[in-house]
Amino acid sequence: MTAIAAEVGSEIPVLATMVTRETLVRYAGASGDFNPIHYSDFHATALGLPGVIGHGMLTMGLALRAVTDWVQDPARVRGAFVRFTRPIPVPDDAIGAELVITGTVTKIAAGIATVALDVRHGSEKVLGMATAEVDIS
């Protein structure tokens, strides 16, 4: 593997992506997470949610896609952590919910870069303390 050029403070390319009801249906099938709060407004509102919300693990997967888009080889990702701080309401319309993912290298040690990830829906941060550890050697 060729080393990835990065230093503390380097920013990874921004990933902006739309999450629609179709995204949630696809993710439910692919992941096996069929919790109805991710496809049924009836069930979501019964639990006090404003409506259907996205899967937390989908958000984590999209956040890491920003990292793998950057380093290209996903085998470089050694670890990741996210706190699910805010649900993402996904309306039943033609637009969906936009997520914007940015990331900054905060540490490099022994060839492993720590990337702090910022995942936003509009102005709201939806993940807390999101980080990925990436082998850049």
Partner 1 sequence: MISDAHAGRSYPPTEPYEVTRAKVAEFAAALGDDNPAYRGDAPIAPPTFAAVIAGQAWGALWSDDELGLELRRIVHGDQRISHRRPLRAGDLVTATPTIDKVRNRGGVDIINSSVVLSSVDGEEICTASSTFMHTRPADQQEQQ
* Joined tokens for residue 110: 């022994």
d(CA 28, CA 34): 5
Q: What is the per-residue binding string for partner 1 in 22-61, x denoting contact by CB under 8 A?
A: -x--xx-xxxxx-x-----------x--------xxx-xx
117 with 59: CB under 8 angstroms? Answer: no
81 binds partner 1 (CB under 8 A): yes
Residue 13 or 79 having the CB closest to partner 1: 79
Q: What is the per-residue binding string for partner 1 in 114-133, x denoting contact by CB under 8 A?
A: --------------xx----
Task: Compute the least distance from the CB of residue 92 to partner 1, in Å.
Answer: 18
5 with 19: CB under 8 angstroms? Answer: no
Residue 8 or 57 having the CB closest to partner 1: 57
CA dihedral 33, 38, 43, 47 (to 10 degrees): 100
CB contact burial 83-116 (16+ within 10 A = b; e otherwise): eeeebbebeeeeebbebebbbebeebeeeebbbe
Which one among 1, 75, 125, 137 touches partner 1, defined by CB under 8 A? 75
* Interface residue list for partner 1 (CB under 8 A): 17, 23, 26-27, 29-33, 35, 47, 56-58, 60-62, 64-65, 68-69, 72-75, 77-84, 128-129
